[in-house]
Amino acid sequence: MDKQLDNRLQTRNIKPTAMRQLVLQVLSEQKTAISLPELESKFENADRSTLYRTLKTFEERKLIHSIDDGTGALKYAVCHEKCDCHPEDLHVHFYCIKCKNTYCLTDIPVPEINLPVDFDLESINIVVKGVCANCNI
């Protein structure tokens, strides 16, 4: 296991079990966000509920974030090292209508939202849909 990935688990107070290490390694290798079924396909003998619980633990501890890109299946991507998933850490996502991949556009922050008094912002989900650079070739 890559020491850097192991350190990421520890800094988020996540016990580094073998399965958690493997899941984080697979997620870290992805260029796009992936769904639970896509993650399952990368593990022949893994139990779906174990993978789901691992993803939920990672999300609760702000190691990954989930993306609702409108396809009906949540997708998951690794957060930046210093991300705490506060509104100021959030970014825009891009869903390609051709290849069906979802990309984190980390250089494009979500716009500031000024809510009425007594409204508390928890999260923002901005998904831009179109054709990605790979499909536009």
Total number of residues shown for the chain: 137
35's tokens: 């769904």
- The pLDDT assigned to 37 comes to 94
- The pLDDT assigned to 7 comes to 84
Express each pLDDT in 15-69 by its tens digit. 999 999 999 999 999 999 999 999 999 998 888 999 999 999 999 999 999 999 9
74's tokens: 């949540």
Express each pLDDT in 67-110 by its tens digit. 999 999 999 999 887 777 766 678 899 999 999 999 999 888 88
59, 76 contact by CB (below 8 A):
yes
Calpha distance 36→64 (Å, rounded): 13
- The pLDDT assigned to 125 comes to 86
**Chain centre to alpha carbon of residue 114:** 25
Question: In the 8-state DSSP scheme, what is residue 67?
Answer: E
Place of tokens 């930046």: 80
pLDDT of residue 1 exceeding 60: no
- The pLDDT assigned to 86 comes to 67
Longest dimension (CA), the chain: 50
Q: Strand, helix or coil at 128?
A: strand
Alpha-helical (H) ranges within the chain are 3-11, 18-29, 36-40, 48-60
Domains for the chain: give ranges and CATH numbers. Answer: 3-130 (1.10.10.10)
- The pLDDT assigned to 88 comes to 67
